[in-house]
Amino acid sequence: MDKTRNILVEMIKGLPFFDGFEDDDIRKLTTYMSLRQVPEGDVLFEEGDIGDYLFFIIEGVVEIILGGESHGNKVIASVSAGASVGEMSLIDSYERSATVRAATDLEILILTKTRFDRVIKETPDIGVKVLMGLASNISGRLRTSQGRYRDLV
């Protein structure tokens, strides 16, 4: 395994999403992921785009923005290192529900839908663990949203 791959493994081991993964699972999964630097201010994706990847924030902060240009952009959340963004894009091919912009310089790990489909086909045991992580994240966000709704009524 090369030096870059070792660095990726260490980065992933520090992310809460991968708490239930064995080291060997992480090593295999890194072969499907790519590391990317994103400068502050860059838009990673826009509301309405068709999603085709999720990313894990290794370093930095992103802003989640709703509304688009015609309705006035509103920052509804900031997400920082350790979080994942765009999980639903690995499950469906619908439009992105928000715009995501780099609030600071970022270092992210990307898993595309195409590569995720390969993970499921080539290493189904790891694919199931990723799916469980996605389901857990989406479930947690739904519960948070429900709690906010209850506070409004």
pLDDT in tens, 72-129: 788 988 999 989 999 888 888 789 989 999 999 999 999 999 999 999 999 999 999 9
Return the CATH number at 107.
2.60.120.10
Domain, as residue range, for 66: 3-152
Split at pLDDT 50, 70, 90, the class of 33 is very high
Contacting residues for 98 by C-beta, under 8 A, at least 6 apart: 47, 64, 65, 66, 76
Q: How many domains does the chain have?
A: 1
Helix (H) or strand (E) holding 106, with range, is strand 106-112
